[in-house]
Structure 1
Amino acid sequence: MLSLAKNVNLLVAFLLELGVLASVGYWGFTVGQNWPVKLLLGLGAPALFIAAWALFGAANGAVIPLTGFARVVLEVLWFGGGAAALAMAGSVTPGIVLAAVYLVNAALRLLWNQ
């Protein structure tokens, strides 16, 4: 049973990563004043997040994998950025939910050495 819970927690972590990208894209498409700016922000911001995650955060494929405190800082900036993007786009409650789910997920990953 614990094995199933651990696998579900890893699935939630992956879905949270996708949620951050969707949140940042949503933010970009809502804050732009005209379509060229909306496209630039809506596609460019997630691209920057993807680049940062690929360089430092991807579980087994990071170019420069971070560990320890540096990894904690990266995750707080990554997932906090997604939550903040939702809040700045006017979706405060979903931003709070994203942050809360991340905190529970991170605590379980720490507890279970994932």
Structure 2
Amino acid sequence: MNETQNCSGCAKPVTRFDRYPKYLCFDCVAELTDEDGLGINYHNSSLGYLYGTYKEDAAKRYPNNRCFYKGIEYRAREGRFGGVVVQPAVEGEAIEKTLVPKVAHIV
């Protein structure tokens, strides 16, 4: 039996993960913003770390894991087996800097 839980953003059913009881679904993650309302995306690098970019300018890196969904503060983290997991911020939780990958330009 496939157990479900509700997305903490939109409340639609998502696959249950005990490790991530309040994670955002893909649709809600697509709407993440910074504190100024600018759209952001999070990615995993091939070297195994999390980094963020701005939707309007993917070359511009977003420096931390603090994000917002409809004005509510969340934190993005690497999933245990890869991917990005976004859950509500816990009061007093530290903001972690994301690593900025060096991009090699081939001329």
TM-score band by shorter chain is under 0.3
Q: Is the strand fraction higher in 1 or 2?
A: 2
Q: Is the helix fraction higher in 1 or 2?
A: 1
Q: Bigger relative contact order, structure 1 or 2, given CA contacts below 8 A and separation 6+?
A: 1
The normalised TM-score by structure 2 is: 0.28
The normalised TM-score by structure 1 is: 0.27
